[in-house]
Structure 1
Amino acid sequence: MPADSGRADPLGPIRANFRRINAIRQWSATVKRDLDEPGEGGEATFYYAHGRLEKVVARHYGEMGQRQVCYYLLGGQPSFVLEKLYRYNRPLYYDSAAMRAAHDTAAFAFDSSEVEEQRSYFAQGRLIRQLPRPAPGTPTAQVLQQEQNRLKTEFQTVLRSR
């Protein structure tokens, strides 16, 4: 958006909050909890500054990948959510012995994972932008509403584990 348009950047406060949280070097408390999930399970780490929850990092593990979700909070609610989906090159258990037995050329290597990112921006409890954007022709408002519901529901589920 051009600077002379007269309208404030709606992502400005979200980005400022993100920078503020990432600048915190000394957390007053960090609490790690297991997530009650099917499959390989998961864990969440809750980061507190001056007794206030500022950030939550949840990891959901699977045999063929993991999903990491970082919630940056403003007023106790997500303002920015960064999701990373790691797709493993082989199953977790696929070590060098399994590789040789299968006459394969690669064993499990986290560094060989494909990584996909999604960024979600919230203002006043409403999802206002998501990157990457929905595919052309997709009703954006409908997708944002579905994604807002999904992210808020997942966040509440993770919070229950604290």
Structure 2
Amino acid sequence: MKYLLTLCWLTFLSSGCLTGNKKENHPNIVSPSVPINSFQHDTLQLHETFNKEDQPINEYLSHELEPIWKNFKRVNSITKWTSIESRGLDTSTSRGGARYYFLNGQLEKIITYHFSETFQRLEEYYLLDDQLSFVIERSYTYNRPVYYDANLTNVDSNSQSLNNDHSGVVEDRSYFLNGKLIHQVNNEDCGSPFTGDYLLGEQKRIMATYEMLVQTLKQP
């Protein structure tokens, strides 16, 4: 299992530009569509956004969200960065890391990735005027742990094998204004606004992670 996670992590590192100022071969955001017979557990199923616009579900808060949409499009369309820094985010159960993207000395976005035996997770943090503006969180959960093989499948009498047709992506998009979470969209939800209490809880969770990432950047 550690070997598979290492392969995933090396793939993530090689997909970024950690040794130069140009980001090459950006994939678009797509749902996993790898044929079952070619499904590789060390393949990245989630990719950071490139040259994409955020698509509003309805007209809710469109005036407040418009600057966030425009900034998101601007940042994820950048192909040449002044510098990119990386930090490790390994835990006892997963491998992970963060990349910090700078343009002319300004931190524009943070990308994090986590790999475990049961999921991949990608997070994108976009800044506007030095404040957190927009966050995308995607989780790709395997229908089986990556260490399962034919022998283990027979042992627990479960015939379901690991394949991406039985796996799926959950995505949350969170919109911040002046440090406050004003809107959140989930791809498995109908698009109706969440309650104020729920948004407050999500705001605390996301901001805590963001502040941790900022502090991690300050470490050598």
CA 1:10–1:95: 2 relative to 1, 3 Å: same
Q: Which has the larger displacement, 39-48 or 7-16?
A: 7-16
3-state secondary structure, aligned to 1:11: helix
Residue 44 of structure 1 corresponds to 98
Q: Which residue type is aligned with residue 102 of structure 2?
A: Y
The count of corresponding residues between Structure 1 and Structure 2 is 156
1:10 corresponds to: 64
Residue aligning to 1:156: 211
**TM-score, normalization: structure 2?**
0.61
CA deviations 1:8-50 (Å, max 9, x no partner) are 7110000010011011011111122111433113211111111
Pairwise CA distance, 1:77: 2.2
TM-score normalized by the length of structure 1 = 0.81
Q: Is the 8 A contact 2:96 2:113 kept in 1?
A: yes
* Residue matched to 1:131: 185
Shift of the 159–93 alpha-carbon distance from structure 1 to 2, 3 Å rule, reads farther
Conserved? CA contact 1:81–1:121, under 8 Å? yes
Matches within 5 A, 1:84-123: 84-95=138-149, 98-99=152-153, 104-107=159-162, 109=163, 113-123=167-177
1:140 alignment partner in structure 2: 195
Q: Which runs of 4+ in 1 moved over 4 A?
A: 95-103, 109-112, 133-136
Aligned 8 A contact 1:134 1:140 in 2: no
CA-to-aligned-CA distance 1:39-94 (integer Å, 9 cap, x gap): 11321111111111111111233321122110011122210000101111211222
Quick one: structure 1 residues 111 and 72, their matched pair in 2 at CA, closer, same or farther if it must change by over 3 Å? Answer: farther
The question of 1:56 aligning with 2:113 is answered: no
Q: Distance in 1 between matches of 2:200 and 2:160?
A: 44
The aligned residue for residue 66 of structure 1 is 120
Which is worse superposed, 152-161 or 11-20? Answer: 152-161
Per the TM alignment, residue 95 of structure 1 is displaced from its structure 2 partner at its CA by 4.3
Q: Distance in 1 between matches of 2:124 and 2:169?
A: 15
Change (3 A) 1:100 1:28: farther
Give the SS at the match of 2:68: helix
- Gaps of at least 5 residues in structure 2 are 1-58
1:26 maps to 2:80: yes
Unaligned runs of at least 5 residues, structure 1: none
Q: Contact 1:32/1:46 (CA < 8 Å) preserved in 2? A: yes
Cα distance 1:8–1:92, how it changes in 2: closer, same or farther (>3 A)? closer
Question: C-alpha separation between the residues in 2 aligned to 1:160 and 1:110?
Answer: 36
When the two chains are superposed, the root-mean-square deviation of aligned CA atoms in Å is 2.9
* CA distance, structure 2, for counterparts of residue 124 and residue 150 of structure 1: 16
Letter aligned with residue 152 of structure 1 = M
Confirm or deny: 8 A CA contact 1:121 1:130 kept in the other structure. yes
